[in-house]
Structure 1
Amino acid sequence: MTAAVLREASAGSQTGRLGILVPVSVFVAMLEGFDIQALSIAAPVIAHQFGLGERAIGTLFAVGQGGLVLGAVLGGGAGDRYGRRRMMVLGIFCFGVFSLITGLVAGSAMLALLRGMTGIGLGLVMPNLIGMAAEYAPERHRGKIISAILGGIPAGGMIVALAGAGFMEAWGWRSLFIAGGLLPILVMPLMVFLPGRSVVPVDVDHIPAMLVSALFGEDRGPTTLLLWVALLLTAGLLYMTVSWLPSLIRARGYSLPVAHLASAMFSGGGCLGSFATGFVVDRIGYRRILPALYVGVLIGICGVLFGVDQAVMLGGAFVLGVFVVGCFYSLNGLSPLFYPEAVRGLGTGCAVGLGRIGSILGPLGAGWALQAGIGPYGPGPAAIPPVAIPLCALAFIAVCLLTRRDRKAIRRGAA
C-alpha cells in the first residue's frame, strides 16, 4: 500500500528560501535554549517557593525533556504526512501558550504538567526545522548551516543566563517564562514565508523492516549500539550540566549573579563549540577530533569543581561548554555516516531520539544523586561532578570503540 506523504517544496529561489529558513530556524533553536536555561536559573527560587527537593527539581527538568521527545516523535511523522510548516506553526503556538501559563502557575504538580506540554510544543518544531534545512541547504554548505541552527540553542541559553538575574530581581522567576511565551509570537508571522508543500508518494508498508535493516543490517548492529551509548551518555552529561550548573556554583559558596555568569560562560562556550567543531571536523575528520573532545570535557569539569578562585571556575565553565556541546553536536553529525543513503534518515532519527532520552535521564539521575549528597562540598548539587566524570569516561570509551570500528566510513563522510 502506498500513502501520500507530504513534503516541503520550493516556493521561490533557493537563496530566498534559505534567507528566511535559516534565521527562523536559528531563532526557534534559541527558544529551546532559552527555555531550558530559564528553568535552570529559576530552579533554586522555585524549589524554595514550592518546598521542592533536588529530586523533584530533577523531575521537572526530565518532564520537559520527555515532552520534547514525545513531540519530536509525533512531529517528525506528522510533518511528513501533513506538512512541516503546518507542524511548526502548531508547535510554536503550543510552546508559547504553555510557557505563558507556566508564568502563572500556583502549584508544583501543574508546573510539571506545563513543562511537559511546553516540551511537546518545542518537539513538534525542531525535527521539521532541521529536516527542512537539510532538504534545501546546498550540499557544500549543509554542515555549516545545520551547525549554525544548532548553535542557536546555547546562544539562547547564554541570553537568558545574562539577562535572567535582572528579570528575576525586577519581576520574579515567573517573568522568564512569560517572556519565553511572548517571544514565539515574534516568529509566527514569518512562518508564512517558509516553503510550501507538494505530495510525494512513499511506500509505508515496509517501514518496520526498513528500520531493523537500517539499524542492524550488514553488520551495523555493534556500530548502532555504540553510537546509541555514546549519544545517550553525552546527552545526559550535557543536559545535566545545563540544568544543574547554577545550583552547583551556588553550592560552592558563590553568589547568585556569579552562578548566572557561570551559566552564561557555559552557553558562550557552547556557541563556540558548536561552530568550531564543524570546521575542525571538515579539516581533520571525526576519528581524530571526537575522542579528544572528551578530554576537554574532563578538564572543564575539573575546573568547575576544583577551581581555586572565581576566574578559574568561570574558565572551567567556558571550557566545559565548548567541549561538551562540541561532543554532542559532532556525534549527531557523525551518525548519518554509518548508514546507507536508502535508510539514512531512519538510522539517524533513531540515534537523535536516543540522545533526547539521555537529556531526560541526565537531569533526572542527577536529581536522585543530589538527594544522596555525595559531593565533595557536602550534600546537594555538589554531587554532580562525581556523577559527570564517570559518564564522561564511559562516553569516551564508547566513542573510541566507535571510531576505531568504522574509520573508513568516517573518513568518507569527513572528506
Structure 2
Amino acid sequence: MSAVGTAVLLAAAPAGRGRAMDAASVLPALAAVPPGVLTGTPAATVVELADPLDPQTVLTRLRAAAASPGPLVVCLAGQLHLDRRQQLPHLALARTTPATLRYTALPWHWLAGELGARPPGTTTVVADLAADPDVWQRLTAAPGLLHLGPGPLLYGRVVPAPRRGEPTTPEYLRARAELWRSGARLTPAAAHAEAAARAVTVAPAPEPVFLAPGLVPPPAPVPGGGPAPVPGPAPVPAARPAPPAGFRPAPAPEPAPAPVPQPVTVTRPGPLPVAPPVPVSAGAGGPVAVEDPHPAILAAAMAGRHGEAATMAAAWEREALRRHGPRSMEAVHWTEVRADLARLAGEPARSCELWLAAAEARLGLGQRTDDPDVEGAVDRAHHQWEQTGDPDRARALGPTLLDLRRRVPGRRPGALAALTRRMG
C-alpha cells in the first residue's frame, strides 16, 4: 500500500504595521494544487495554517505532521525576526511584535527540531520569507542560520523586509504553486530553478537569497565538542541571483582502500550562451562584470568563503537548468562544480552525494560506464564517502555508491572489493 503524504501550508505574518510580507495571499494558489501533487503520492492530507496566533499551536500541528510515516512537504510563507537576547531567528505569527517576539513567534529551531529527525529524503520545505535587517545580515553571511538538520531538503527564497511601504509578496512560492498546477514533472532542483527565475522576473529588486540543498550548511561545530554557535555577521557578500558557465574543479584524490586511478580532470562543457555580463560586485570604479565565473568561484572557495562560492555556483546552475534543462551536460557540469566546492568546504558527505548525482546523470545521458568522466565522478564519490565522519550519512549513501561501483568498477581492480568489505 502506497504511503499517504502530508502537506502543511503555513502562512504567517504580524497584523498591522509590522507586516513585512503578505504571506496569506499565496494560500489560495497553494490550496488549488491537488494534495497528491504537492506530496507526490496517490493520497495526501493537507493542513492549512493561515496567520496562526500561538506558537504552541503551530508546534503541535507540525509535530503531528512530522509523525506521519509518509512524505511531508511544508510550504512556508512569512517573515523572520531575530531574538536579540538569544540571537536566534523566529518566524513571526499574527500577534508578534518586537517586544513580544520570544513569546508570540515560532523559533526556527523548533521547526528544525520537528523536521530534522525525520528520515532523509522524506521531508521537503519550500519557503518564501522576508527577513528583518538583523536576520538578513546574518543570513547573507552564513546560510547555516536556517539549517534544518541532515534530513529535510530546503528550497526557497529570502528577501530583505521592506523598510516602509507595501509588504512584499511571496512570488517564489506563488511560482511553485503555478508549476504544481501546470502538471509539469520537474525534479525538485529544476522546479526550484524555474520558480526562482520567475520570482526574479516579477520582483527583480531587492536581490534575494535563494536556498537549496548544499547551500544551507550546518553551523560549524565548536572545537572540542558542544553545541554549534549561532552564525554571526561575517565579511561575505550577499548572495546574487543567476548568471551563466565553465569551471574546472580541482582534481580530488582517488579512493584510498585500493590501487585506484590517478585523478581525472573534469571535462568542462562549452560556455553557456551569455546575456550581457552580470554585475557581481561594486567598488569605487562601479560594477565589475564577470563573463567566466569559475576563477571568482574558485578564488572564493580557496579563501575560505565557501558560502559565497556555493551561492555563485548555484546561481549559474540555475541558469544552466533554465536554458538547457536538467538533462543536459551543462547542468551536470555545475553539479560537479558544486561537488568539488563541497569537498573544499570540508563537507564530504554532501560532496559524495553530488558526485553520485553527476555520475548517474552522465550515465542517463548515454555516456559509457568506462568513460573517463563517469569513472572520475564515481572515484571522487568513493573517496568522499570514505572521508565522511557521520556513520548515518555514510550508511545512507553506501547502497547508491555500491550500485554505481558495480556498474563502474574503474580502471584498476580493487575498489569494488574494498567498498564491499567496508560496508560489511
TM-score band by shorter chain is under 0.3
For the pair shown, the structure with the greater C-alpha radius of gyration is 2
Q: TM-score w.r.t. structure 1 length?
A: 0.26
Q: Whose helix fraction is larger, Structure 1's or Structure 2's?
A: 1
Q: TM-score w.r.t. structure 2 length?
A: 0.26
Q: Whose strand fraction is larger, Structure 1's or Structure 2's?
A: 2
